[in-house]
Amino acid sequence: MQNEIIFSGFGGQGALFAGQLCSYAAMDNGLEVTWIPSYGPEMRGGTANCTVIISNEEIGSPLVRNPSAVVAMNLPSLDKYEPLVKPGGLLIVNSSMVNRAPTRTDIRVAMVPANELAEKIGDKRMTNMVLVGALLANLPILTQEMMEKALQEHLPARHHRFLPLNYQALREGAAYIAAPVA
C-alpha cells in the first residue's frame, strides 16, 4: 500500500505543517515516509506545497506525477493539482477559498468549508488541521489517534497550549465529511 499526497496552499496556511505532521504520524507508526516541501521565495502569501508518500514498503522514488490524494487549500492549488490526481483518487478542497467546483468526474471530491469550521472552533489557524481531518476520514492510512500522538510529540512545547484546538479541528474536519465521499 503506497499513498502519495500533495498538500498545497498559500504560504502561511499550514500546508507544509499538515504534510509534515502526517509524515511524523506515519513514521512514528513504523511506515515508510518521504516528505518534500516546496515553496516560492515570497514565503507568506506565496505558493507552498509538499509531497508526502506513505507506504508499508520501501519507497522507490520521492517524485510523484499523479498523486492518490491532493489537499487544495486555495484556488491556485485546485487549478494546478486537480488535473494530476490519479483516476479514482481523492481531492479535498477548502471550499472557503475557491469559487468553483472541481470538474473531474473520475475522482472522489470533498468540498470542506475549512476556514469557517476553524473559525467556529475559535482559531482560523486550525484550517489546515480541519482539512487533515477530512483527509483522514476519506483515506484510511492514518488514524485520529496517530495524528494526536504526532502532535503531542512533534509540536514544539511552546505551542502545546494549542493541542486541544488541533484535536478539535481534526475531529471537525472528519465530522463534516461524516462518511467517505462518493
The predicted-structure confidence for 102-152, as pLDDT tens digits, reads as follows 999 999 999 999 999 999 999 999 999 999 999 999 988 999 999 999 999
Residue 120 included in any domain: yes
β-strands 47-55, 2-10: how paired? Answer: antiparallel
Specify the pLDDT at position 140. Answer: 86
- The C-alpha cell of 24 is what? 511524523
Specify the pLDDT at position 11. Answer: 85
Answer for the pair 142, 170: CB distance below 8 angstroms, yes or no: no
Global confidence as pTM: 0.92
Residue 92 included in any domain: yes
Residue 143 included in any domain: yes
Residue 126 included in any domain: yes
CATH number of the domain encompassing residue 93:
3.40.920.10
Residue 118 included in any domain: yes
Of 12, 2, 13, 3, residue with least CA distance to 114:
13
Specify the pLDDT at position 177. Answer: 80
Residues 6+ apart with CB under 8 A from 160: 152
The predicted-structure confidence for 39-82, as pLDDT tens digits, reads as follows 766 556 667 999 999 999 999 988 999 999 999 999 999 999 99
Specify the pLDDT at position 179. Answer: 46
Residues 6+ apart with CB under 8 A from 22: 5, 52, 54, 132, 135, 142, 147, 150
Into how many domains does the chain fold? 1
Its domain, for residue 139, covers: 2-177
pLDDT-derived band at 180, boundaries 50, 70, 90: very low
Residue 182 included in any domain: no
